[in-house]
Amino acid sequence: LAAKKQHKQPPIAAVLEIGGVKIAKDDVVRESDPSNNVPDAIFSKLGLQLHRRDNHPLGILKNAIFDYFDTSYSAKFVKFDDLSPIVSVKENFDDVLVPADHVSRSYNDTYYVDAQNVLRCHTSAHQAELLRKGHTHFLVTGDVYRRDSIDSTHYPVFHQMEGVRVFSPDEWLGSGVDATSYAASDLKKTLEGLAQHLFGAVEMRWVDTYFPFTNPSFELEIYFQENWLEVLGCGVTEQEILKRSGREDSVAWAFGLGLERLAMVLFDIPDIRLFWSTDQRFTSQFSEGKLGVKFKPYSKFPPCYKDMSFWISDAFTENNLCEVVRGIAGDLVEEA
């Protein structure tokens, strides 16, 4: 019973308010509203903010990344880790130049709260607004949501950290290279430095890729448990995004890293589902500021309390005992 209690899920709140937006947990309302496709399993994870728990692997990793940026850039990066995961379709897609007919906008790929608002599918949803507000160095950490299928490295709720750095012309003029190459090489240096800070020596490679909001675009992969694992996407920000935020004279880079993927490498965590565990055997292995910890696997089954009984009366035989046990446990019990 004690074991069962430990594994019970916390009750799901009836109404949840996030960033001033109220959403109701009412299956009937939600199921009859064709513009909402957020199931209870996802709804119940809203507001948990694993990245803000200092003893959780994701919180420990986030703080270690903050340390790296604070040290390398004398605390110039402004940090946001409490922005609402409910964002508009405009913020999530239009502002980062995702084409109107792109598949990622579909109800099949994205969780819609209603026809105009979604659960952000990346932290890039906050880029444009923060640029418009005049920020030039920032990090945005948060939970993100995608209708992905689940396996050991994919989960429909995960955490990203976005980083953006804007350069003004005096920084690249006189460097001998054009603005884009200047930003691209600074970006790669910064992220290689981060990997070095977190992992020391690690096998990694850059892969060219495509994002609507950066050009050129890259992904960084790390060799982990005999496979190449994609840990982040990044690139030089599309000029159109800077122009719309009144910075057409500038150049910028941006990255979005998968916190779970990096934490899997850092702590040797073999399965992304473990991050959601409330089992003591998981949570007790991690503590604030401890980066060198390697995860120790444990049984898939809940803890089992063992008991011992004696009989002292000659009148009570072993067969009598077996009858008593079988009377309760049925044929599942094989051996005394």
Q: Is the separation of the CB atoms in 92 and 123 below 8 Å? A: no
Q: Which is nearer to ligand FA5, 111 or 211 (CB)?
A: 211
Shortest approach of ligand FA5 to residue 253 CB, angstroms?
Answer: 8
Give the residue among 149, 178, 163, 310 at the shortest CA–CA distance from 233: 163
Give residues in contact with ligand FA5 (CB under 6 A). Answer: 122, 124, 146, 148, 154-155, 158, 160, 162, 211, 213-214, 230-235, 254-256, 258, 260-261, 272
Cα gap 68→321, rounded to integer Å: 64
Q: Which is nearer to ligand FA5, 13 or 156 (CB)?
A: 156
Residues 224-243 touching Mg ion, rule: CB under 5 A, are 233
Shortest approach of ligand FA5 to residue 185 CB, angstroms?
Answer: 16
Report how far apart, in Å, the C-alpha atoms of 138 and of each of 30, 161, 189, 268 are.
Answer: 36, 10, 17, 29
- Name the residue with the smallest CB distance to ligand FA5: 258
Shortest approach of ligand FA5 to residue 262 CB, angstroms?
Answer: 8
Q: Which is nearer to ligand FA5, 113 or 121 (CB)?
A: 121
Helical ranges in 73-205 per DSSP H: 89-92, 127-132, 169-172, 179-199
Shortest approach of ligand FA5 to residue 256 CB, angstroms?
Answer: 3
Helical ranges in 175-274 per DSSP H: 179-199, 239-244, 259-267
Q: Is the separation of the CB atoms in 6 and 280 below 8 Å? A: yes
- Name the residue with the smallest CB distance to Mg ion: 233
Cα gap 132→113, rounded to integer Å: 25
Cα gap 233→229, rounded to integer Å: 12
Residue 74 backbone zone (phi > 0: left; psi -120 to 50: alpha; other: beta): left
Shortest approach of Mg ion to residue 238 CB, angstroms?
Answer: 17
Q: Which is nearer to ligand FA5, 33 or 271 (CB)?
A: 271
Q: Which is nearer to ligand FA5, 239 or 319 (CB)?
A: 239
- Which of ligand FA5, Mg ion, none does residue 30 bind (CB under 5 to 8 Å by kind)? none
Shortest approach of ligand FA5 to residue 203 CB, angstroms?
Answer: 17
Q: Which is nearer to ligand FA5, 255 or 331 (CB)?
A: 255
The residues of the shown chain that bind Mg ion, judged by CB under 5 A, are: 233
